[in-house]
Amino acid sequence: MKYYIGVDGGGTKTAFLLGSEEGQRKELLTKGCSYQMIGVEGTVRLLADGIRKLLNVVGAENSQCGGCCMGVPCYGENREKDALIVDGLRQELGEIPFHLVNDVEIAWAGALNGRPGIHLVAGTGAIAFGVGEDGHSARCGGWNEFFGDEGSCYWVGREAMSLFTKEADGREEKGELYELVRRKEGFLEDVEFIDLAIRELIPYRDRVAAFQIYASQASLAGDMAAVRIYERAAGELALLAGALKKRLLLPAGAPVTCSGGLFQNGELIFGALRRELERQDLRLERAERSAAEGALLLAEKQFGRDSS
Amino acid sequence: MSYYIGVDGGSTKTVFAVAEASGKILKTVTRSGCSYQSIGIDASVRMLSREIQEILLAEKIDAEDCRGCCIGMPCYGENLEIDAVLLATMGNLLTPIPVQMVNDVEVGWAGSLKCREGIHIAAGTGSLVFGKGVGEQRARCGGWNEFYGDEGSCYWIGRKAMELFSKEADGRIPKGALYEIVRRELGLINDFSFTDVLLESWIPYRWKVAAFQMYAFEAVKEGDEAVKILYSEAAEELALMVKTIRKRISFTNELVEVSYSGGVFHVGELILTPLREKIEKLGCILQEPARTATEGALLLAKKYFGEER
């Protein structure tokens, strides 16, 4: 019997999913595998260990593994690093066939079950991936959090910091965001925010992204300036999808699915995004499956019996 | 003979001047930035005092003949403890010269409006607006920090220009002159290498992010409309700070004078036209700066230390 493995690699966690030809499923969760955080060697070791462990759990030999598909953050953005990861994995995994893709590709494969369309990821970063009816694929966005990742949690977090200062110095009316940040971060003078941000927030990518939660809570409490941040975020995300629609020659009404932490805000983001996507002649759909299932799907497609 | 010293400190450069009591400037020198946020408190005060002493030495001026020194310092007024340390240390290092320290936006105002009531926009690497109203009324708006603030500054425009390049590159907006200029100037082989080049040689340096603004300026000159909008957005952010100060303090005249300083204004009418339009709607009038920020620091030095001694 053959086994296939799909890996959903992220910045904070990695999900390994093993599937057998008979429909058996086994899952394993580990920490994140982004080489930007743990280095190329760390990435290679974490991925290889996870795969070996899963095969061990079901008592399978390496030769019984039909193939793995791994979605890895930043894959495809730096040729040298990509080559190092591939070489490292080839040494570690030996005869096990594998295929590496960017993590956005497996998210698409899961959410749209391999159908043509666009998948938007808005977690700490933001990127869009689409596949046309001719099978061609393309990515848009996701350059870097400093100047890009528009519409991501990081981006919303930074916009929320800017809004806090505007509410503090009178450029915007004082709203819930101002009260919330002062209360939760516990400072007395507004200028203390500068020092706090420099020491405790800005150096940590995840904390800037987590600052987004204040904007979310303030929006729900009626801070309209905070609500407008999500409207702008939706505009940026729809812009990514619109660009891909054009590049991939997708038809009007093509499906768009979403994943990532930003969408935990429910209608606050979906409401605005649905409107913005309609303007681009695109249709928001619910994701069908997880990214790990998408990776498994791609592994079966690439290495399975019916693969060409 | 008696003399005054004025310093216009910035995060990218610092200008020192020494003048006679008559106002005649004897010497002006430009050195690197003195922001303690960038180089630390210790390096900042040592650099300032060393440069001041060197000018005095070069001009053969005895410290005893200096009536006072006014230093416009980035971030001054944002942390009371650090402010106290800066002032005390500078005082010690420059003894017997009396020292006054203000935020750098204030020397900008003192120069551009010759200490009259009004509002001064400082938009260089960072941005900050200062207002001086009736009596002792003063207010500041903006600034905070380049990461999430400094709206309308060179840094802010520079980062947005990076964003526009990436949008032109991946098809979110039509490719314009900015795309070509950045590819050429950064020597990019492919668009994806943009991020690596930036992470290595631009983003870690505050002044280089601000300097990236120059590509935006070039692109507008070559007709990139998307980039032109960026300057009008910057003007909007600066006008919002002016509007806030106009509301927060009172002024004698109905029509409030607004002037400016800093690198953003090197692009001339590209920023001045939208800015003029926006602030005129706020009951303000845009004035060309009468003097430089360095001259403003000299004016303040004379104001603080002139008459009493």
List of residues 6+ apart from A192 with CB closer than 8 A: none
* CB spacing of A247 vs B203 below 8 angstroms: no
- Which of A150, A161, A191 comes nearest B148 by C-beta? A161
- Whether B247 and chain A come into contact, CB under 8 Å, resolves to yes
Average model confidence (pLDDT) for chain A?
A: 93
Residue B82 predicted with pLDDT over 80: yes
Query: Cα distance from A133 to chain B (closest Cα, Å)?
Result: 19
Packing angle of the helix pair A212-220, A176-185 (nearest 10 deg)? 130
Q: Which residues pair with B154 in a beta bridge?
A: none
B291 phi and psi angles, rounded to 5 deg: -135, 170
Contact B138, B132 (CB under 8 A): yes
pLDDT above 70 as % of chain B: 99
Can you give the pLDDT at residue A243? 97
Nearest to A202 among B79, B147, B195 (CB): B147
Q: Do B78 and A161 touch (CB under 8 A)?
A: no
Contact B12, B33 (CB under 8 A): yes
Note the pLDDT of residue B6. Answer: 96
Asked if residue A209 has pLDDT above 90, the reply is: yes
How far away is chain B from the Cα of A62, in angstroms, using its nearest Cα?
36
CB contact under 8 A, A239 and B148: no
DSSP type of residue A197: I
Contact B244 A194 (CB under 8 A): no
Coil, strand or helix at A155: helix
pLDDT of residue A187: 83
Burial B179-192 (b: 16+ CB within 10 A, else e): bebbbeebebeebe
Compute how many other C-beta atoms are within 10 angstroms of the C-beta atom of residue A53.
14
Answer whether B49's CB lies under 8 Å from B94's CB: yes
Please check whether residue B10 is in contact with residue B35, taking contact to mean a CB–CB distance below 8 angstroms. Answer: yes
Q: Distance, in angstroms, between B306 CA and closest chain A CA?
A: 33
Q: Confirm if A108 and A132 have CB atoms less than 8 A apart.
A: no
Average pLDDT over residues B108-128: 95
User: How do residues A112-145 score in pLDDT, each as one tens digit?
Assistant: 999 999 999 998 899 999 999 999 999 999 898 9
Contact assignment for B141 to A147 by CB distance below 8 Å:
no
- The answer to whether residues B66 and B5 touch, using CB atoms and an 8 Å cutoff, is yes
Residue range B204-208: average pLDDT?
A: 92
How open is the CA angle B196-B198-B200, to the nearest 5 degrees? 70
Beta strands in A188-261, from DSSP E residues, in sequence order: 254-259
Q: How confident is the model over A219-243, as a mean pLDDT?
A: 97
B159 touches chain A (CB under 8 A): yes
Percent of chain A whose predicted confidence (pLDDT) is above 70: 99
Do A195 and B79 count as a contact with CB atoms less than 8 A apart? yes
Which residues in chain A touch residue B240, judged by CB atoms under 8 angstroms apart?
166, 171
Partner residues linked to B73 by β-bridges: B103
pLDDT score of B38 more than 90: no
pLDDT of residue A211: 97
In the 3-class helix/strand/coil scheme, how is B45-105 assigned residue by residue? HHHHHHHHHHHHHHCCCCHHHEEEEEEEECCCCCCHHHHHHHHHHHHHHHCCCCEEEEEHH
Q: So what's the ipTM on this one?
A: 0.86
Integer Cα distance of A258 and A74 in angstroms: 19
Query: Rounded to an integer, what distance in angstroms lies between the CA atom of residue A101 and that of residue A72?
Result: 6
What is the 8-class DSSP label of residue A250? Answer: P
Q: Tell me, what's the pLDDT at A78?
A: 82
Tokens of A107: 């998210």
Longest Cα–Cα distance of chain B, Å, equals 66
B80: confidence class by pLDDT, cuts 50, 70, 90: confident
Side-chain-facing half-sphere of B200: CA atoms under 13 Å? 6
Closest CB to A194: pick one of B145, B171, B192: B145
Checking DSSP bridges between strand B3-8 and strand B13-20, what pairing results, if any?
A: antiparallel
pLDDT at A308: 44
Question: pTM of the full predicted structure?
Answer: 0.88
The Cα–Cα gap between A184 and A165 comes to: 15
The reply to whether omega before B96 is within 30° of 0 (cis) is yes
What tens digit of pLDDT does each residue of B273-309 get? 999 999 999 999 999 999 999 999 999 999 999 864 4
CA of B65: how far to CAs of A21, A140, B18, B56, B95, in Å? 92, 65, 12, 10, 12
Residue B293's nearest CA partner among B71, B31, B38, B129 is B71
